Chain A
């Protein structure tokens, strides 16, 4: 049992602790008007948001816009956040739903891109060595196939196959039933496989 907090030193009448504040504490500080607390919170979930958003966005600018949109929604939603579920789950729900909304909003433009045959991603790989470039190539093909699916199917396949999340988790994140997720995943994979086989034959 911990009896004393990890107090290290006194900084002019103010006690400075080295303990990291919890997410709930940061949420409280943010809702009380402390912007820097939100910056810490954003820093904690930034990589996760970027990782998921990068599967939906194309190019650096689109990725930046999408991620900023995610965190602005989190910021606006903080007063409604209840501590009955971990902040991480709440945050992931917003990330996934914002990505889905992003696909819906940009449906028309994506359809035009597919028709124009544009399939290359503007995002760069860390290294240009051979296995990485093959993975990048595979990702670009998958991205192109995904862009030919509807938003719901695309969201399910991205979360299930590329982010390796469970059906149960996806159902919680999206608010769709587990059977709906399973059926969508099955249908979407079948369609992607068909597209892959027919398009590469040409």
Chain B
């Protein structure tokens, strides 16, 4: 059989009526049920504000990380290695001579 030209193909496809009756059956009933469901799950102001706050805090996480790093660098705070560090310094433990312990 001769292959249809592109224009003939488009013309045939255009005239093809897709049967949607099965999907249309009871559509309004399902739609109203979805609308009612939507109304029940509708979020209030506090939900929206809470969600916004949470998303904002997540967005700010890299900024906070950068600020902490900068603070560490600027204040020359060392990462504790067991013999020194902020906590050890604070309790003034490791600075005591060995004989005093």
Contacts and interface: CB of A to CB of B under 8 A. Distances in A.
B28 A142 contact: no
Interface residues of B, number: 26
Given A46-B28, A68-B34, A135-B13, A124 B6 contact: no
B24 to A, nearest CB: 6
A171 B34 CA distance: 32
Q: Interface residues of B: mostly helix, strand, loop or mixed?
A: helix
B34 A134 contact: no
A200 interface: yes
Interface residues of A, number: 42
A136 B32 contact: no
Interface in B1-52: 3-4, 6, 9-10, 12-20, 22-24, 27-28, 30-32, 34-36, 38
Contacts of A67: 23, 27
Contacts of B31: 39, 42, 68, 71-72
A125 interface: yes
Nearest to B36: A35
A64 B28 contact: no
A99 interface: no
A42 B23 contact: no
Contacts of A75: 35
Contact of B13 (A43, A60, A141): A141
A196 B38 contact: no
Contact of A164 (B3, B4, B14, B22): B14
Contacts of A135: 12-13, 15-16
27 contacts: A35-B32, A38-B32, A42-B28, A42-B31, A46-B24, A47-B24, A50-B20, A54-B20, A63-B20, A68-B31, A72-B31, A72-B35, A123-B18, A123-B19, A125-B16, A126-B19, A135-B13, A136-B16, A137-B12, A138-B12, A139-B18, A141-B9, A142-B13, A143-B13, A162-B10, A193-B6, A196-B6
